[in-house]
């Protein structure tokens, strides 16, 4: 699905802060949306939590730095970081080029996905939310 030129893939869950989450087996892959990546423009640096650290739903878990700004990344779910996308250390631009595949940020073993995921938006709800933001 596309909203005003921004990709909103089906099968992901979204936050109002423009992060996405995708359950893949026992882990949840997390990244920032196409809207967030394009709004930031040229990403030059990404900080992520370390493997084995814990993240809390709606709390900052790192930053994405562009030539325009530094933006906090908020975890859509709580859990333990199992993997960090090490490719972003040398190629942070992957966040811009491929936010939903190569530009993912971390994988988390969720502590309460069933409950916490209920407050996230599906693609249709996120698309509607983007429409309200972009209509202003």
The per-residue pLDDT string of the chain (136 residues; one tens digit each, 9 = 90 and over) reads 999 999 999 999 999 999 999 999 999 999 999 999 999 999 999 999 999 999 999 999 999 999 989 999 999 999 999 999 999 999 999 999 999 999 999 999 999 999 999 999 999 999 999 999 998 6
Q: Using a cut of 0.75, tell me whether the model's pTM lies above it.
A: yes
Taking phi first (over 0 means left), then psi (-120 to 50 degrees means alpha), and beta for anything else, what does residue 52 get? Answer: left
Helix ranges, 32-72 (H): 34-40
- Could you tell me which residues come within 8 angstroms of residue 38 by beta carbon, excluding any fewer than 6 positions away? 6, 96
At residue 88, the pLDDT reads 97
At residue 9, the pLDDT reads 98
The count of structural domains within the chain is 1
In which domain, by residue range, is 112 found? 2-134
At residue 3, the pLDDT reads 93
Run of H or E residues at 46: strand 43-47
**What CATH number is attached to the domain comprising 54?**
2.40.50.100
At residue 68, the pLDDT reads 86
């Amino acid at each position: 699905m596309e909203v005003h030129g921004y990709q909103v893939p089906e099968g992901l869950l979204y936050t109002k802060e423009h992060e996405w989450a995708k359950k893949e087996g026992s882990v949840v892959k997390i990244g920032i949306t196409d809207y967030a990546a394009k709004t930031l423009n040229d990403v030059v640096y990404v900080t992520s939590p370390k493997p084995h650290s814990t993240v809390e739903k709606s709390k900052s878990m790192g930053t994405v730095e562009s030539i325009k700004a530094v933006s906090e990344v908020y975890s859509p779910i709580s859990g333990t970081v199992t993997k960090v996308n090490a490719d972003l250390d040398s190629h942070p631009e992957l966040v811009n080029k491929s936010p939903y595949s190569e530009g993912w940020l971390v994988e988390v073993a969720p502590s309460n996905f069933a409950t916490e995921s209920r407050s996230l938006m599906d693609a249709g709800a996120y698309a509607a939310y983007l429409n309200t933001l972009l209509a202003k």
